[in-house]
């Protein structure tokens, strides 16, 4: 399979990248790891005249940790996340999501920014980042803006990213003591697979170590975009954690899911994955609290 | 779309090439450098036949523009043997019959090399996950897993 013709740019700093993107507008596609884009080019699903490669922007590969917050460059690869470096060890759901993405070869190239901007409903890094409350930094020649990941995603693998705009970083609050998160993916095989359903949850326990101060449940591949289940989050808030409660939350999550295919099967899976993720999140939260 | 001059570092040698931006590393390795050990399989990152090492990490060269390989060290299957002395992984693949048609072997061996560099004593499960991006359509996975295990033992013996 051959690639179509295009012109290639490799800006050496962010300012230059924003300028090039502003000039090229709609005619340019951004090349990060290329594991989605090159497939789309080869299969003629995308046909940009220009590719703007981010490989020259070293700052996008940085992970910064300080003052209770984490800043992940958009060019950090899934492979680096999956290795679970010390700075990210509290972000269990994100590490699990990254480890389940593609194959070793894909993980070594695929970037967190690419996964978010491709914005597929089954993307493995989106549910983890939704439950971890990620904020995205978007840069363009006009300046920077910051948006919640939940507001960034649109239906049908689209985002609010404007032509000429670039996702540069993902900002996360370091989870407090007494909190935990988890991610589970169901596919037909255990590797190199697009999720049939995936789910992530996070739980923050109150000082008593039992009451759920807040919880989030995110689901992938059961709606036109990855979603946060408000019904599950509301049901969990303020309640005493238990396996029974988590089973109820699983049922509540099903109400927010609207899978287009295999409705009955996927709804059952949503309920089970939500319950299992919540159990894992809870165990981790308790472990940290004690 | 014009050709640009680039320099690739392949198997320890600097290679100067005139390349169009839409050519993948697989194409440039096979067609320009005649390193046909790297195979062109599915072309979309599913089969792993085109696997090469970039700075020691396994990557699908079919999903990598040759331009994006500039400044990195590329290792192909041709770069593994030391003269006429095969790499322990190559020896083990032959000795244990882990090669049938041979089409997946370069990718399998390079993925195994990346795996063993990070994890010198992998479990069977870790070997299978390490090779999860490489397909063998002769379905000889069992012998491949055994060969990687065998090579790991040899390599540990050699380094201690």
CATH topology assigned to domain A61-173: 3.30.465
B123 and B148 within one domain:
yes
Q: How confident is the model over B16-71, as pLDDT tens digits?
A: 999 999 999 999 999 999 999 999 999 999 999 999 999 999 999 999 999 999 99
Chain B positions touching A190 (Cβ under 8 A) are 129, 132
| The pLDDT value given to residue A289 | 57
Chain A positions touching B114 (Cβ under 8 A) are 104
Chain B positions touching A5 (Cβ under 8 A) are 1, 20, 22
Of B45, B79, B113, which marks where a domain is finished? B79
Tell me yes or no: is domain A179-285 CATH 3.30.390.50. Answer: yes
Tell whether A8 lies on the interface with B, counting CB pairs under 8 A.
Answer: yes
Q: What stretch of H or E contains B10?
A: strand B4-10
| The pLDDT value given to residue A260 | 84
**A-B C-beta contacts closer than 8 Å:** 90
Q: Say which CATH number the domain at B43 has.
A: 3.10.20.30
Q: Say which CATH number the domain at B114 has.
A: 1.10.150.120
Q: How confident is the model over A212-226, as pLDDT tens digits?
A: 999 999 999 999 999
Q: Which of A6, A109, A192 sits opposite B21 (nearest CB)?
A: A6
Assembly ipTM: 0.97
Whether residues A104 and B24 touch (CB distance < 8 A) is answered with: no
Q: How confident is the model over A44-98, as pLDDT tens digits?
A: 999 999 999 999 999 999 999 988 899 999 999 999 999 988 889 899 999 999 9
Distance from CA of A169 to the nearest CA of B (A): 21
DSSP string of B52-82, one letter each residue: EEETTEEEEGGGSBGGGGTTSEEE-GGGTSB
Tell whether B73 lies on the interface with A, counting CB pairs under 8 A.
Answer: no
Q: Which of A103, A109, A191 to mutate to test the interface with B (most CBs of B within 10 A)?
A: A103
B130 and B73 within one domain:
no
Domain that holds residue B131: 88-159
pTM of the model: 0.96
B72 and B96 within one domain:
no
Q: Tokens standing for A221?
A: 């591949």
Distance from CA of A204 to the nearest CA of B (A): 32
Q: How confident is the model over B91-128, as pLDDT tens digits?
A: 999 999 999 999 999 999 999 999 999 999 999 999 99
| The pLDDT value given to residue B160 | 58
Whether residues B133 and A109 touch (CB distance < 8 A) is answered with: no
* Total domains, chain B: 2
| The pLDDT value given to residue A196 | 94
Looking at 3.30.43.10, 3.20.20.150, 3.30.1180.20, 3.20.190.10, the CATH number of the domain A7-53 comes to: 3.30.43.10
Residue A227 has pLDDT above 80, yes or no: yes
What's the rounded mean pLDDT across residues A134-161? 97
B111 and B93 within one domain:
yes
């Amino acid at each position: 399979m051959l690639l179509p013709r295009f012109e290639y740019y490799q800006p050496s700093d962010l300012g230059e990248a924003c300028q090039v993107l502003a000039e090229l507008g709609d005619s340019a596609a951004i090349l990060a790891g290329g594991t989605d884009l090159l497939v789309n080019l080869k299969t003629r699903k995308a046909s940009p005249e220009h590719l703007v490669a981010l490989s020259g922007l070293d700052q996008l590969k940085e992970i910064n940790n300080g003052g209770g917050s984490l800043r992940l460059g958009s060019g950090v690869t899934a492979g680096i996340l999956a290795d679970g470096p010390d700075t990210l060890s509290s972000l269990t759901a994100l590490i699990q999501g990254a480890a389940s993405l593609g194959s070793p070869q894909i993980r070594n190239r695929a970037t967190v920014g690419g996964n978010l901007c491709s914005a597929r409903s089954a993307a493995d890094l989106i549910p983890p980042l939704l439950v971890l409350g990620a904020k995205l930094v978007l840069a363009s020649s006009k300046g920077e803006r910051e948006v919640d990941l939940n507001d960034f995603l649109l239906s049908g693998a689209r985002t609010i990213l404007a032509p000429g705009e670039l996702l540069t970083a993902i900002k996360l609050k370091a989870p407090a003591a007494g909190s935990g998160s988890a991610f589970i993916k169901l596919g037909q095989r255990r590797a190199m697979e697009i999720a049939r359903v995936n789910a992530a949850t996070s739980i923050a326990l109150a000082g008593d170590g039992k009451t759920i101060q807040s919880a989030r449940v995110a689901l992938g591949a059961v709606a036109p975009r990855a979603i946060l289940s408000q019904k599950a989050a509301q049901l969990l808030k303020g309640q005493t954690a238990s396996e029974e409660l988590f089973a109820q939350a699983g049922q509540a999550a099903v109400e927010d899911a609207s899978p287009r295919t295999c409705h009955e099967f996927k709804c059952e899976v949503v309920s089970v994955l939500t319950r299992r993720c919540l159990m894992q999140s809870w165990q981790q939260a308790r472990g940290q609290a004690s | 779309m014009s050709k640009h001059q680039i320099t690739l570092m392949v198997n320890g040698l600097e290679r100067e090439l005139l390349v169009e931006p839409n050519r993948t590393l697989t194409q440039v390795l096979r067609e320009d450098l005649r390193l046909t050990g790297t195979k062109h399989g599915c072309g979309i990152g599913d089969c792993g036949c085109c696997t090469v090492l970039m700075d020691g990490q396994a990557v699908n060269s079919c999903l990598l523009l040759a331009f994006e390989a500039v400044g990195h060290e590329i290792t192909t299957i041709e770069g593994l043997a030391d003269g006429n002395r095969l790499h322990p992984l190559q020896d083990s693949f032959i000795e244990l019959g882990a090669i049938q048609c041979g089409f997946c072997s370069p990718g399998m061996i390079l993925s195994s090399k990346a795996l063993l560099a990070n994890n010198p004593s992998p479990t069977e499960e870790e070997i299978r996950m390490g090779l999860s991006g490489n397909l063998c359509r002769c379905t000889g996975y069992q012998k491949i897993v055994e060969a990687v295990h065998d090579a790991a033992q040899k390599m540990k013996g050699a380094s201690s």
